[in-house]
């Protein structure tokens, strides 16, 4: 039932979005860009159930709307991660300096948008978890919130995997460029040059050698670019690690809440069973007492009858 209502709310929202889409987006930009402030402000006020929901059905309707909106944002997040991977791949193959700069600009902007979107998603999921609830609606809220949270954690892990893969590819590309400049470079020299943002002694010596100047200059420039790419990836991985830890804390907090709720429910069940056993015992006692009262009444009645008969016989003899 919850899934049907969620699907209906999503269909209704998609219909409204289709009617209000801008001409620019309909015109053919396959990857519309959104800036940090747009992600920070989007759906925070209008979609938050605490702000727009009322009692009863209105509250659940607002909750389903927020869940649907979060799912849409998760799809945008995953699309952004895929585009970031595409830009990384293009960066590895670009040889033209102008194209490289445009690619770097697009990559920086998209990474910033995705970072802002991830922060917004974290706050929105946390807001849903804080609402709680009881009964059937409360159970539906917990299930749907846990579902979008798991999808978000999965998206974070996928983003981490993409960044780690391209960090490895960037380092491998740097090693190839170093070997072009110095084919007999030892693994220690290659590692030192990869970790040295200035290029190390290998490029300094190669640039002095006029016979390999042009080749070394091109390789040196690319190695410096790859250093910047790796620094960008290291920063993103650090942010994702912190985000993943934050979401893990939320999961642990929710688990603790669930354990407390289960413990309380078990206690209530035990108390209810104990009370029920006491009630049954009281009923049995009342039935037994009622039977004893009837027995006493019958015995007393029989005694009175016997006494009456004896008295009647004695009186009749005296007369």
Predicted confidence pLDDT, tens digits, the chain (319 residues)? 444 555 555 555 555 544 444 434 433 444 444 444 444 444 444 444 444 444 455 788 999 999 999 999 999 999 999 999 999 998 888 777 778 889 889 999 999 999 999 999 999 999 998 887 778 888 889 899 999 999 999 999 999 999 999 999 988 888 888 787 777 778 887 787 777 755 556 666 665 564 566 776 777 777 778 878 888 898 999 998 998 888 876 555 555 445 555 555 555 567 667 767 767 777 777 787 788 888 888 888 888 888 888 888 777 877 6
Of the candidates 150, 151, 138, the residue with the CA atom closest to the CA atom of residue 63: 138
Helix (H) or strand (E) holding 29: none
CA separation for the pair 107, 118 (Å, rounded) = 16
First to last CA, the chain: 93
Note the Cα 78 to chain centre separation in Å: 13
Instruction: Quote the CA–CA distance of 32 and 200 in Å, as a whole number.
Output: 41
Q: Which structure tokens are listed for 46?
A: 């209008």
Pick from 170, 202, 171: nearest CA to 185:
202
CB-based contact 95:69 (threshold 8 Å): no
Give the three-state DSSP class for 269.
helix
Q: Which residue has the tokens 């004893």?
A: 292
């Amino acid at each position: 039932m919850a899934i049907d209502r969620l699907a209906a709310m999503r269909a209704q929202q998609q219909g409204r979005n289709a009617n209000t889409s801008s001409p620019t987006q309909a015109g053919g930009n396959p990857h519309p860009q959104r800036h940090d402030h747009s992600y920070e402000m989007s759906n925070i006020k209008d979609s938050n159930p605490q702000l727009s929901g009322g009692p009863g059905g209105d509250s659940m309707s607002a909750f389903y709307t927020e869940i649907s909106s979060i799912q849409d944002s998760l799809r945008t997040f995953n699309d952004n991660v895929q585009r970031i991977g595409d830009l990384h791949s293009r960066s590895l193959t670009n040889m033209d300096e102008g194209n490289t700069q445009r690619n770097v600009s697009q990559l920086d902007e998209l990474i910033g948008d995705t970072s802002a979107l991830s922060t917004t998603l974290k706050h929105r999921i946390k807001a849903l978890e804080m609402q709680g609830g009881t009964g059937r609606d409360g159970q539906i809220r917990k299930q749907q919130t846990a579902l979008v949270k798991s999808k978000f954690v999965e998206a974070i892990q996928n983003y981490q995997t993409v960044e780690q893969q391209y960090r490895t590819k960037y380092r491998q590309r740097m090693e190839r460029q170093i070997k072009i400049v110095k084919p007999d470079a030892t693994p220690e020299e290659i590692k030192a040059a990869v970790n040295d943002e200035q290029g190390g002694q290998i490029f300094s010596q190669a640039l002095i050698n006029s016979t390999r100047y042009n080749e070394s200059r091109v390789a040196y420039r690319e190695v410096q670019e790859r250093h910047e790419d790796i620094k960008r990836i290291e920063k993103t991985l650090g942010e994702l690690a912190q985000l993943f830890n934050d979401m893990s804390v939320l999961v642990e907090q929710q688990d603790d809440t669930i354990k407390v709720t289960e413990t309380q429910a078990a206690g209530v069940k035990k108390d209810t069973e104990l009370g029920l056993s006491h009630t049954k015992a009281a009923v049995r006692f009342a039935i037994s007492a009622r039977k004893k009262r009837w027995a006493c009444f019958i015995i007393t009645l029989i005694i009175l009858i016997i006494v009456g008969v004896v008295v009647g016989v004695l009186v009749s003899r005296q007369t």
